Amino acid sequence: GKLILVSNRLPVHVDIKSDNTVQFRSSAGGLATALNGFHKDHSGSLWVGWPGVIPPEHREEVKNRLLTEYGCYPVFLEEDLVEKFYDGFSNNTLWPLFHSFPAYTRYLDSEWEAYKEANEMFAKAILEVASSGDCVWIHDFHIMLLPKILREAMSDLVIGFFLHIPFPSYDIFRLMPWASEITEALLRSDLVGFHTYDYVQNFLAVVRRSLGIDNNLGVIVRDQLVCHVDVFPIGIDFNKFNLATEHPATQVEMEKIKKRHDGQKIIFAVSRLDYTKGIIESLHAFETLLVTQPQYQKKVVFVLVVVPSRERVKRYASLKKEIDESVGRINSKYGSFEWHPVLYLFQSLTFAELTAYYSRADVGLVIPSRDGMNLVAKEYLATKKDAAGVLVLSEMAGSAKELQEALLVNPNSKREVVEALDYALTMPLEEQTRRNEPMRSRLEEYDTTRWGNSFLDRLDKARDARKE
């Protein structure tokens, strides 16, 4: 059977221009980038997802072009459904709850209904292109009901599900009124994958405590159905980052950075605009460093890149305002004509700009309060061809499990973060490379391809086990 990838967004975004022409451009986002390779490597594979809001009169053309030119198959959703299912349930219920921010979580029946409806629409699209025995690999929290809907419609599909964000503890998960429906749906997969062992343990505990079902080494058997649960920490395209500094475009950006911050050490942080990413905490720690260790004034600059995201959601808009105000305050309080302590960019970076900053930064600061994996930490190290530089990493990020040689901190302890920054800025080169080399070789070995293949191999084994 063929491979069908499913994610909320397609790797291709479709825009309808004012002159009614249809424009296709590749989507931003880590997931699209991570899966693109598999889509290309598996000939005849299809990718099902949402292409953006498309007016009815353009749908036929969009569907045909996506299918023939990109190997994609669209799920068309109306704008008001997207608002309730995506901005609503996905981003205001599941995202905060799964990241252990229960106070930010809202529970609206109407949004749950929209979530169910959107999941039905995804299933309908998949069933239009699936044949029995196909392998369906479903990605992330927007479409967690799919395994059940698909299993009931076409029982011999091979279904894998991978969650790209954390899975919370039982005490937090059960706050959601629809917790058992979601658990039940996931269990209809042949294989459920998570980034870390902790998330696997949380999921198995939920299954045990809410449904009363035990597992045998991560295998859950119920009503003749078998679900395997396992760990698959996602990697990055190591070579792409490792070779980035050889590109002329990146070298041009590296020169610009060198001129702009001549003689200064650079602390670099980049993330989406999100309250889980520790952006405010980073600013507070940097300010405390300048106050308690004044020798760093004029010698260090904090480059903070925040990529616009979900600004229609109120909580995100107010976070943006708080960041703007903190940056303004720090720069006016400590800065001078020739030195701005914080260089703040609220924008996306090109690959050349991003890797130039990774390469030039003396310290990579990655301190989310919770993060499923966090690939920035991995990308930073992969770009460091000479293995110099220091990674300061939150122990709450999934990637901390694989990056033990980094300076690991509790992001809620300002003192720990400040001490780590101070240590990082004075760390001898020999120690930098001693820490970074083992992490880099691990990242090289367990890259995106290896991650995906290990998931698909395990899914094959689960399929074979089912036949027996």
- Beta-carbon count within 10 A of 310 CB: 18
Q: Does residue 263 sit in helix, strand or coil?
A: coil
For the question of residue 261 being annotated catalytic, the response is no
Token look-up 């979601």 returns 182
DSSP assignment, residue 189? Answer: S
Strand 135-139: give its sheet, edge to edge.
72-74, 46-50, 3-9, 135-139, 158-162, 191-194, 225-231, 219-222
Q: The tokens 């460093």 sit on which residue? A: 289
**Cα separation of 260 and 132, whole Å?**
59
198 is annotated as an active-site residue: no
Q: What single letter denotes the amino acid at residue 235?
A: G
Backbone angles phi, psi at 136, to 5 degrees: -110, 120
Secondary structure (DSSP) of 43-81: TT-EEEEE-S---GGGHHHHHHHIIIIISEEE----HHH
β-pairing, 191-194 vs 225-231, is parallel
Residue with token string 């919770």? 370
39, 164, 195, 228: the active-site residue: 164
Q: Active-site residues: which are they?
A: 164, 371
